[in-house]
């Protein structure tokens, strides 16, 4: 697959299942990070890129798991959210210090990048089966 804007080079070889697993891993991390930051608590853990790689056995029901995750993501964030504009930050390995709104925005952009990745994978698969 040719490089997509915003996609780390080694991530471009993911399958759709790997992308979905990666989105769940990152999304769960955001649910654990954004609410505490928005309430003035600085998480002790550091974000590491290698911790969000889907290099594991992917469950067969990954599509259903992703759907369930997406249904609960916003509700889980909103239920625990304080002041999203609070100037309480924690570092991202590539983008530096981010406050709760910055982490939320990053999560949104992250979803967009990987949606484009999934669409490109599906398009490539369609073109291979039509040959």
pLDDT in tens, 14-56: 999 999 999 999 999 999 999 999 999 999 889 999 999 998 8
What does the pLDDT look like over 67-126, one tens digit per residue? 999 999 999 998 989 999 999 999 999 999 999 999 999 999 999 999 999 999 999 888
Q: Let me know: does 110 contact 8? Beta carbons within 8 Å.
A: no
pTM: 0.90
Question: Residues 96, 46: contact at Cβ < 8 Å?
Answer: no
C-alpha 84/C-alpha 81 separation (Å) is 7
């Amino acid at each position: 697959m040719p490089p997509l804007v915003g996609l780390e080079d080694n991530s471009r070889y993911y399958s759709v299942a790997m992308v979905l697993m990666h989105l769940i891993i990152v999304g769960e991390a955001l649910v654990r990070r954004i609410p505490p930051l928005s309430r003035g608590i600085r998480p002790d853990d550091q974000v590491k890129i290698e911790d969000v790689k889907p290099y594991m056995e992917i469950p067969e029901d990954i599509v259903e798991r992703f759907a369930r995750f997406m249904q609960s993501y916003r509700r889980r964030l909103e239920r625990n959210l304080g002041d999203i504009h609070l100037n309480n930050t924690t570092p991202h390995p590539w983008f530096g210090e981010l406050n709760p709104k910055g982490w939320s925005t990053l999560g949104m952009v992250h979803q967009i990048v990987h949606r484009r990745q999934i669409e490109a994978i599906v398009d490539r698969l369609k073109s291979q089966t039509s040959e």
